[in-house]
A = this chain, B = another copy of it.
Amino acid sequence: MARLPTLAVLGATGAVGTVMCELLTGRRNVWGEIRLLASERSVGRKVRCRGEELTVQALTEDALDGVDVAMFDVPDEVARHWAPIAVRRGAIVVDNSAAFRMDRDVPLVVPEINPEQVANRPRGIVASANCTTLTMIIAVAPLHDEYGLRELVLASYQAVSGAGQAGADTLHDQLAKVAGDRMLGARTGDVRQAVGDDLGPFPAPLALNVVPWAGSLTDGGWSSEEMKLRDESRKILGMPDLKISATCVRVPVLTGHSVAAHAVFATEIDVEGAREVLRNAPGVIVVDDPAAGEFPMPIDAVGTDPSWVGRIRRTLDDPRALDFFVTGDNLRKGAALNIVQVAELLAEDLTRP
């Protein structure tokens, strides 16, 4: 390919799409034309990307012609419809929906962990993982390489922007309703009453609350979000039988997913060794000095690329287990950044002489 590849962004005006455009502006440029495509609602909007002011165009079959790589951040059913069309028109699709993640013929790629898998794409589609999975797996994978992972027990603290711009708007609206009333939060149901019926994309109020639910109901009472953590982690690590148990909980944080992880390994853990493994791991920064008030937190990790890992400690009652806490920006490494990184791997592949 003599020219730089053409990139399309589907869903460019959403919470993740906005960050994709920001990232394209800040990173080393590997792209020729960048084309922003969206549903009718957003057509005509101007978005600044890579120093240019781009106009959002309607997503049509013809609009995909000449696209080399298409980054999708759209609902599952939109991805299911449009990804094969984009592939037929000649694009490689990097998809952030759950539509293809568990497809045997679609690799699930985290460039820090399994970059070689981008080449293995019989359907012309590469999937990007769920935001909570990505935040956590970046820290777990290098530990697995060193110690041999046997089991994961996870509890999440997920930000509202994981449910898109509507999630962020909902929390802002609810905070405006509860802030200032110092009596709220002390009587059963009083926050519900103050917040009213507008719950946005959530099953319950988020202001002054935590909601132990994300996604839809699957067998045995597990949420779809919890199943994604299990299934996607297994696929990324290439460990189809890995024992994983997760509880996914939404918290009143704007952006930044956190996970409390208990990881059991095949061999005994030396905690200084584990800390060193994490310090050297791509995409990870270690923030672990509780005496100095340093631990991973959403208000610090938001707007940054890496997964922040801290509270690293060997399990007291099991020398083969490690407990730690990890926080990452769910819109960046948890979504936009991973997609952009995968797209860049593909661009490299396409422009290789």
Contacts and interface: CB of A to CB of B under 8 A. Distances in A.
A267 B316 CA distance: 24
Given A204-B297, A321-B245, A186 B251 contact: no
Contact of A299 (B182, B191, B302): B191
A325 B208 contact: no
Interface in A219-242: 220-223, 230, 241-242
Interface stretch (A4-12, A137-145, A173-181): A173-181
A205 to B, nearest CB: 6
B180 A255 contact: no
Given A180-B179, A302-B186, A212 B253 contact: no
A172 interface: yes
A260 to B, nearest CB: 4
A188 interface: yes
Contact of A178 (B168, B175, B251): B175
Contacts of A168: 185
A189 B329 CA distance: 13
A333 interface: no
A295 interface: yes
Interface of A: 151, 153, 155, 157, 168-169, 172, 175-176, 178-180, 182, 184-192, 203-205, 208-213, 217, 220-223, 230, 241-245, 247, 249, 251-255, 258, 260, 262, 271, 288, 290-291, 293, 295-304, 310-318, 321, 323, 325
Contacts of A153: 153, 262
A148 B255 CA distance: 40
Contacts of A244: 316-317
A333 to B, nearest CB: 13
B247 A323 contact: yes
Given A221-B288, A303-B186, A254 B208 contact: yes
6 contacts: A168-B185, A172-B182, A208-B254, A212-B295, A243-B318, A245-B316
